[in-house]
């Protein structure tokens, strides 16, 4: 677990250093970089979910893996939790997404979760990164944990969706010819 967190921190540092914002001094490097990543991640993740045919939302590569619909429901929940924690706002009161909800409902809820992220993060800055928040299992973490977990979850979720698409003979959005 500690190794995974260290890897997440390293990935966040690399993202910050690779960002165009790092070329100039910025007052809020962490929040600025994550907010800069949001539109691209939203576009790619939503496009990947839209690419999967509705009848494949029950697909899972092996018996031990989650269905594609479950993955999408997980993405929605993750966005709502991490964006609320990072932005220091209440999570939205929404009906819990279920893997059986169907493509249209899940895509709509996914888009809504990204809209919430945009709103939740809009006014947030780095001034509260050291504040203590509650993470999973009641553990205490610095708010920076939520920002890093959010960015890494987007990468993980897109990678998982891309794998599901490829296993069904479909190209993920970033692999399609422009």
Return the pLDDT at 80.
98
Residue 26: its pLDDT value, please?
78
What are 85-100's pLDDT values in tens digits? Answer: 999 999 999 999 999 9
* Structural contact between residues 126 and 28, judged by C-beta atoms closer than 8 angstroms: yes
Instruction: Please report the pLDDT score of residue 148 as a whole number.
Output: 97
Confidence category of residue 102, pLDDT binned at 50, 70, 90 = very high
pLDDT at 69 over 60: yes
Please provide the size of the chain in residues: 178
> pLDDT of 23-36, one tens digit each?
556 799 999 999 99
d(CA 164, CA 158): 10
pLDDT tens digits along 116-155: 999 999 999 999 999 999 999 999 999 999 999 999 999 9
Residue ranges covered by each domain of the chain = 2-175
Q: Kindly report the CA angle at 41 between 36 and 46, in degrees rounded to 5?
A: 140
What CATH architecture applies to the domain 2-175? Up-down Bundle (1.20)
Which position has the higher pLDDT, 8 or 58? 58
User: Is residue 156 predicted with pLDDT exceeding 70?
Assistant: yes
The predicted structure's pLDDT at residue 18:
57
More confidently predicted of 28 and 3: 28
């Amino acid at each position: 677990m500690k190794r995974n967190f260290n890897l997440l921190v390293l990935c966040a540092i690399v993202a910050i250093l690779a960002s165009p914002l790092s070329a100039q001094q910025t007052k809020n490097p962490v929040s600025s970089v994550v907010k800069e990543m949001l539109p691209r991640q939203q576009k790619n993740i939503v496009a990947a979910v839209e690419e999967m045919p509705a009848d494949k939302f029950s697909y899972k590569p092996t018996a031990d893996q989650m269905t594609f619909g479950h993955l999408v429901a997980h993405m929605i929940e993750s966005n709502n939790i991490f964006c609320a924690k990072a932005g220091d706002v209440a999570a939205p009161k929404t009906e819990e997404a279920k893997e059986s909800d169907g493509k249209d409902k899940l895509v709509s809820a996914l888009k809504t979760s990204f809209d919430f992220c945009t709103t939740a993060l809009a006014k947030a800055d780095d001034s509260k990164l050291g504040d203590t928040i509650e993470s999973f299992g009641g553990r205490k973490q610095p708010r920076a944990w939520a920002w890093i977990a959010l960015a890494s979850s987007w990468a993980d979720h897109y990678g998982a969706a891309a794998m599901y698409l490829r296993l069904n003979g479909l190209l993920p959005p970033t692999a399609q010819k422009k």
